[in-house]
């Protein structure tokens, strides 16, 4: 089987949203409850939202494919202060977890950060998302701080910020090809 990483194309957006729903509904209800899971899915994985993010913002969307089928994805972007890339999303299909696919995408984002001279990659992960925290530790991240953020609808994100050092020089500008 051929495994490959490709940028998200507009024609992949519906498949990515279906995958996100599959992962979230499998993983998050025991952690944040069904209502918050559905609220966040509607906020983040409406195909129109992703289409607009893909067209207008400096976000890299990476898909991991088995042959032509998307089984995992990640998104990343430079933080406002310019001293890190944020790994903003990382999701692997439930039947493909723990096969190293998350690690492949983490490595891909860390290589991008190093190539563009961002000194670190950071991410936010729910404090109760123990399997993801274990995965991030396995792939070299450490907890840097704890944050609580209101996201509307009466919900909060109760997260750890984790980070990993990748390079030491000044950042270069965003380019979708990177």
Ligand X SMILES: CC(C)(COP(=O)(O)OP(=O)(O)OC[C@H]1O[C@@H](n2cnc3c(N)ncnc32)[C@H](O)[C@@H]1OP(=O)(O)O)[C@@H](O)C(=O)NCCC(=O)NCCS
**Residues in touch with ligand X (CB under 6 A):** 23, 27, 90-92, 97-103, 125, 129, 131-132, 134-135, 138
3-state SS class at 171: coil
Which residues, other chains included, contact 48 with Cβ-Cβ below 8 Å and sequence gap of 6+? none
For residues 102 and 171, which CB has a smaller minimum distance to ligand X in the complex? 102
Q: Which of 37/54 has CB closer to ligand X? A: 37
Q: How far is the CB of 56 from ligand X (least distance, A)?
A: 24
155-165 and 69-78 strand pairing: unpaired
Please check whether residue 37 is in contact with residue 102, taking contact to mean a CB–CB distance below 8 angstroms: no
- The nearer residue to ligand X, 120 or 171, going by C-beta atoms, is 120
Pairwise CA distance, residues 18 & 8, whole Å: 14
Least Cβ distance, residue 131 to ligand X (angstroms): 4
3 vs 99 by CB, closer to ligand X: 99
Distance CA(47)–CA(98), nearest Å, equals 27
Shortest spacing between CB 169 and ligand X, in angstroms: 27
């Amino acid at each position: 089987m051929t495994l490959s990483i490709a940028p998200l194309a507009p024609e992949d957006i519906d498949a990515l949203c279906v995958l996100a729903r599959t992962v979230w509904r499998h993983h998050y209800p025991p952690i944040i409850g069904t209502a918050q899971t559905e609220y966040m899915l509607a906020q983040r994985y409406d195909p129109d939202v992703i289409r607009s993010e893909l067209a207008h913002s400096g976000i890299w969307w990476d898909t991991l494919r088995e042959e032509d089928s998307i089984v995992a994805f990640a998104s990343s972007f430079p933080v406002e202060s310019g001293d890190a890339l944020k790994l903003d999303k990382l999701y692997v299909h439930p039947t493909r977890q723990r096969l190293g696919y998350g690690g492949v995408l983490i490595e891909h984002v860390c290589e991008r950060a190093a190539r563009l001279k961002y000194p670190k990659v950071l991410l936010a992960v729910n404090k109760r998302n123990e399997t993801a925290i274990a995965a991030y530790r396995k792939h070299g991240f450490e907890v840097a701080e704890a944050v609580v953020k209101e996201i509307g609808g009466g919900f909060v994100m109760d997260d750890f910020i984790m980070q990993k050092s990748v390079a030491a020089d000044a950042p270069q500008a965003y380019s979708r090809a990177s």
